[in-house]
């Protein structure tokens, strides 16, 4: 795209697409990223993983199927074991051991302090990049029955995902536990092949990042199976955890999973790490310092890191609050005001770079361009 049009590209990625985006950016040299990429829009990114995937691996998930009379429609337990749970990408979403791996970093100590502030409801200065966030007792989000108005992000330590028969589930135990209790054979081998340090270390992508998240829908944080779920999943039966904890998120991805990466990369920028760029932490529906695009007010550029909100259409009002489902992991990208924000964030004043290749492309016929789009490997290649 850069070669054809002579302008830096804007990358949009949603959910698991963010994993692939950062992976591919890590394979580019910094010179190419600086030359070709204007900004990266990370939408609902599970950078630190999603405990929901671990729960599915042990107990399956009946939210993908339904009973109609004597028929089971959708993805049944049997189908899930034969498809979803065999995909390597599924295991890329397993929670990462970020809190222990980065515990000595200043930003992580700031997060720990922020967690205490949110728990005990007070504002304080941490002296770290975490101070980009508004204080927990400031007002951010209105009009939801699932959360209060305060600027609390539900930050929490994701080291332990849950327990099975009193055994903790974390990075030290997960391989043994999925062998003993997991719903499918061979899960350990797939998990081992999917492991990567990229997100355990929160490797900086080397481009300007705009992370968009929502915090309006209760999202799985930890769960407990009192009995061995494999006794039922071996017969393709779903097993519901005995107990489940939720925290702020979008129903699939915890706010913590998204925000922790943004704070790490913002800290890299403040520390002048090579290739690090400013990071925007953008909360849907938040009223805090609202913007209509990622750009700093009165400009078409991003020169420093910030937290701010943008107006949404999926929320409610204090008198008629929403349950947050219209702002969840999938639904929020269909919100008309989300599209407005994304469009405004793509329009900048960077001039097109003219070259022989851009001139040739610009002179192509509409028929040629349509054929190019239909056959473009970037669009058509699903591998």
Q: What is the pLDDT of residues 339-364, one digit of tens each?
A: 999 999 999 877 666 555 556 656 77
| Mean confidence (pLDDT) of the chain | 90
- d(C-alpha 381, C-alpha 375), whole Å: 9
Contact 37, 7 (CB under 8 A): no
> Are the C-beta atoms of 170 and 98 separated by less than 8 Å?
no
pLDDT of 159 over the 50 cut: yes
| Residue 380's pLDDT band (cuts 50, 70, 90) | very low
pLDDT digits (tens, 9 = 90+) for 266-308: 999 999 999 999 999 999 999 999 999 999 999 999 999 999 9
How does pLDDT run across 80-123, given as a tens digit for each residue? 998 889 999 999 999 999 999 999 999 999 999 999 999 999 99
Decide if pLDDT at 378 tops 50: no
b/e map of 316-348 (b: 16 or more CB within 10 Å)? Answer: beeeeebebebbbbebbbebebbeebbeebeeb
Predicted pLDDT of residue 318: 86
Q: What are the residues whose beta carbons fall under 8 Å from the beta carbon of 254, sequence distance 6 or more?
A: 48, 50, 51, 154, 156, 158, 219, 221, 247, 248
Model pTM?
0.88
Residue 19 has pLDDT above 50, yes or no: yes
| Beta carbons of 191 and 85 less than 8 angstroms apart | no
pLDDT in tens, 112-155: 999 999 999 999 999 999 999 999 999 999 999 999 999 999 99
pLDDT band at 193 (very low <50, low <70, confident <90, very high): very high
What value does the mean pLDDT take over residues 297-325?
A: 94
Categorize the per-residue pLDDT at 382 as very low, low, confident or very high, splitting at 50, 70 and 90.
very low
Q: Tell me the percentage of the chain whose pLDDT exceeds 70.
A: 89
Model confidence at 6: pLDDT above 90: no
Band of pLDDT at residue 68, cut at 50, 70 and 90: very low
The residue whose two tokens read 């009002």 is 317
């Amino acid at each position: 795209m850069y070669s054809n049009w002579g302008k830096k590209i804007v990358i949009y990625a949603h959910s698991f697409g963010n994993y692939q985006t950062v992976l591919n950016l890590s394979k580019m040299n910094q010179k190419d990223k600086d030359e070709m990429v204007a900004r990266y829009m990370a939408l609902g990114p599970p950078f630190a993983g999603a405990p929901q995937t671990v729960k599915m691996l042990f107990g399956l998930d009946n939210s993908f199927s339904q009973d109609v009379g004597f028929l089971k429609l959708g993805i049944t337990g049997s189908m899930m074991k034969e498809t979803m749970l065999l995909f390597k990408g599924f295991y890329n979403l397993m929670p990462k051991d970020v809190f222990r791996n980065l515990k000595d970093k200043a930003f992580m100590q700031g997060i720990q302090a922020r967690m205490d502030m949110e728990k005990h409801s007070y504002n304080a200065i941490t002296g770290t990049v975490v101070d980009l966030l508004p204080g927990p007792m400031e007002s951010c989000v209105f009009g939801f029955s699932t959360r209060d108005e305060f600027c609390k992000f539900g930050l929490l330590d994701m080291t332990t995902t849950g327990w099975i028969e009193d055994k903790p589930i974390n990075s030290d135990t997960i391989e043994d536990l999925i062998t003993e209790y997991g719903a499918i054979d061979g899960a350990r081998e797939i998990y081992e092949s999917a492991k990567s340090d990229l997100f355990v270390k929160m490797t900086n992508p080397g481009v300007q990042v705009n992370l968009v998240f929502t915090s309006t829908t209760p999202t799985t944080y930890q769960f407990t199976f009192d009995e061995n779920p494999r006794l039922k999943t071996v017969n393709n039966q779903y097993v519901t955890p005995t107990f489940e904890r939720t925290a702020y998120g979008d129903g699939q991805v915890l706010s913590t999973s998204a925000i922790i990466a943004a704070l790490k990369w913002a800290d890299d920028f403040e520390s002048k790490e090579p290739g690090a760029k400013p990071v925007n932490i953008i909360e849907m529906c938040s009223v805090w310092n609202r913007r209509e695009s990622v750009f700093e007010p009165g400009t078409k550029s991003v020169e420093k890191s910030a937290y701010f909100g943008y107006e949404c259409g999926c929320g409610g009002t204090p008198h008629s609050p929403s349950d947050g489902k219209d702002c969840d992991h999938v639904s929020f990208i269909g919100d008309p005001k989300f599209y407005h924000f994304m469009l405004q964030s793509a329009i900048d004043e960077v001039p097109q770079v003219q070259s022989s290749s851009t001139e040739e492309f610009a002179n192509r016929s509409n028929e040629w361009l349509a054929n190019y789009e239909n056959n473009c490997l970037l669009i058509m290649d699903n591998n």
